[in-house]
Chain A
Amino acid sequence: NAGVTQTPKFQVLKTGQSMTLQCAQDMNHEYMSWYRQDPGMGLRLIHYSVGAGITDQGEVPNGYNVSRSTTEDFPLRLLSAAPSQTSVYFCASSYAGNSYEQYFGPGTRLTVT
């Protein structure tokens, strides 16, 4: 199993550009989440999904969209990037049978100039 994969690993965007951060898992986990990590603030939940076709907002959803058309994939879209979205982004997956233990991807470092 590859576990949770994220692409790209690094990305530089200009203000106003759009892009999609990809996340995929091959463990058939029903739950998937996106977090952002900023210095001195830990990880904060952006959006999450409890299954294909079901998503909900986390703590800091503004400026981000998600969709979950398949169990495996959970892309995060930035519609119009802002410097405040410069961060490291983590995708995670989990399932109820293991007490929702989170499996994290390797992260994407995004810089918006």
Chain B
Amino acid sequence: AQTVTQSQPEMSVQEAETVTLSCTYDTSESDYYLFWYKQPPSRQMILVIRQEAYKQQNATENRFSVNFQKAAKSFSLKISDSQLGDAAMYFCAYRRRTSGSRLTFGEGTQLTVNP
């Protein structure tokens, strides 16, 4: 079974600084997707970024980028120029390409942004 681990229950960052959230996963598959989701206090789950395992290039979405290390099974999220609105719970998630819509989530990292 696949597992996803987020070893940082809480992180904090100063506004305008950069922060990196860690995620590791365990799988025997070679073809899969990885995701970062943001959950603000509103509870809504928001997709931040997606990485396809067969793509070597790291995904980037504006101030959000990932460091995908397939051999090490590591998938970290970097948030640049942190803003107060980035404060949220962040979840790392995994999906096998052949598993349809089924996601496996990590435990989450609560990010605080200090003004």
Chain A residues with CB under 8 Å of chain B are: 31-33, 35, 40-45, 48, 50, 58-59, 88, 90, 92-94, 96, 99-102, 104, 106-107
Contact of A42 among B44, B47, B108 (CB under 8 A): B108
Separation of A88 and B42 alpha carbons in the complex (Å):
12
Please state if B43 and A106 are interface contacts (CB–CB under 8 Å).
Answer: yes
Number of A-B residue pairs at CB separation under 8 A:
61
Q: Given A48-B102, A92-B101, is A101 in contact with B107 using a C-beta cutoff of 8 Å?
A: no
Please state if B47 and A106 are interface contacts (CB–CB under 8 Å).
Answer: no
**Set of chain A residues within 8 Å of B95, measured between Cβ atoms:** 100
**Closest B residue by C-beta to A104:** B45
Q: Given A40-B107, A42-B91, is A33 in contact with B44 using a C-beta cutoff of 8 Å?
A: no
Q: Tell me how many residues of B have a C-beta within 8 Å of chain A.
A: 22
**Closest B residue by C-beta to A33:** B101
**Set of chain B residues within 8 Å of A90, measured between Cβ atoms:** 45
Q: Mark B79-113, 1 if CB is under 8 A from A, else 0.
A: 00000000000010101000011111111100000
Contact of B101 among A43, A48, A59 (CB under 8 A): A48
Contact of B100 among A41, A100, A104 (CB under 8 A): A100
Instruction: List 11 other contacts, CB 8 Å, given A35-B105, A101-B47.
Output: A31-B100, A32-B101, A35-B103, A40-B107, A41-B107, A42-B6, A42-B91, A43-B103, A96-B100, A102-B45, A102-B101
